[in-house]
Amino acid sequence: MQIVSAGRAVSEQADGWAPSPPALYFHHRASLEHDPRAHMPGHPDTPERIEAIERRLAAVDWLGWRRREAPRARESQLELIHGARLVGMIRDMCAAGGGAIDPDTFVGEPSYRAALHAAGGACAMARALIAREARVGFSGARPSGHHAEPERAMGFCLFNNVAIAAELAIRELGVRRVFILDWDVHHGNGTAEAFRRRADVLFASIHQAGIYPGTGALTDAGSGAGEGFTINLPVPAGSEEDLWLSLLEHVVLPAAATFAPELVLVSAGYDAHRADPLANCRLEAGSFAHMARHLRELAHRLGAPLGVVLEGGYEPAALAECVQATLAALADDQPAVSAAPEALLTSRAAAQVSRYWPL
Ligand SMILES: [Zn+2]
């Protein structure tokens, strides 16, 4: 017994990790207090999304993941990405009781506090990962962030949690390159804008074409010094797992491996699930497990930690099933399944992305 444990410790330390690194889950009860239905009855972004996730995970003892409270982000952390004017506008609007930021995005008095903890959870996760306290992390807070642009909150999002965590890693934690995969069914326009001209963040988004927010064309590869460091892969309504996995495996992952990130982050929305009311793709919970395993294997090969940040997903039961499948896949040792290259869209996407990356 002792010999076995000692051998395990040696082999795990050999690739740079402490023995049995825990997986960390960040959350905060403030996520339950932000409720856009106070302004728009029937709004799909509800506290029940988080309640469904946590009820399901509690029933399986959180799959052994260690939970940590998401701290509040400081305003200076928000301002790593956002203008002080936007931060102040949202803070003041919430303090005054709330209101509409745009036709989809509403805040109430508790929303600012919820948003600080959502950004803080992503930042605390990045810090813990870079400190090698864990090899994988998940920040399960709301409001989500990937539509929030540097100067504009939109699309249910106030501050861009994943972008703030990426920028924190680069500016304060010594990370040189961050890869962000956005698998939410909507284009991650906010993250794309934050890093559009940057060569130290590779941003890839797979999203349904023709729905909100309307950005993310295949030919938009970033600008200036950041040209090539944005990968947009729109898919048609009705797309299934085969296409998503093919684009991930045959277009996104080879580019990401060449980029050699020191931190891998995922903007994990689950609204590409077939049950989701806001879009029309046809993924299953197992599809997200497949994607998570591919990301886990990429991160492991590169010796980079992997952090996942919750974005969308508006059918609470499906969302909870998907999050559980993701956590299980991030922590298990099942190999990622290889997908056959889907002929039409994958080859068109590969032709575009191979202008910048060897595929
Ligand atoms: Zn979404």
One DSSP character per residue, 43-93 reads: -S--HHHHHHHHHHHHHTGGGGPEEEEPPPPPHHHHTTTS-HHHHHHHHHH
* Residues of the chain predicted below pLDDT 50: 1-19
Whole-Å CA distances, 251 to 37, 206, 255, 293, 339: 39, 11, 7, 16, 12
- The confidence score (pLDDT) of residue 228 equals 98
pLDDT at residue number 342: 86
Beta strands in the chain (DSSP E): 24-27, 66-69, 98-100, 106-108, 136-139, 178-182, 201-208, 230-235, 263-268, 306-310
Q: Ligand 1: distance of its center to the CA of 185 in Å?
A: 5
Centroid of ligand 1 to alpha carbon of 223 (angstroms): 24
- 259 Cα: distance to centroid of ligand 1 (angstroms): 26
Per-residue pLDDT tens over the stretch 195-251: 999 999 999 999 999 999 999 999 999 999 999 999 999 999 999 999 999 999 999
Sheet holding 201-208, edge to edge: 66-69, 24-27, 136-139, 306-310, 263-268, 178-182, 201-208, 230-235
Quote the ligand 1 centre to 7 CA distance (angstroms): 44
Sign of CA dihedral 214, 219, 220, 221: positive
Amino acid identity of residue 60, one-letter, is: V
CA of 311 to the centre of ligand 1 (A): 7
Q: What is the pLDDT of residues 18-51, one digit of tens each?
A: 445 689 999 999 999 999 999 999 999 999 999 9
Give the pTM.
0.94
Residues 328, 63: contact at Cβ < 8 Å?
yes
Report how far residue 357's alpha carbon sits from residue 194's, in angstroms, rounded to the nearest whole number: 21
Q: Report the pLDDT value the prediction gives residue 4, as an integer from 0 to 100.
A: 34
CA of 157 to the centre of ligand 1 (A): 10
Active site residues: 147
The pLDDT value recorded for residue 12 is 39
Distance 273 CA to ligand 1 centre (A): 11
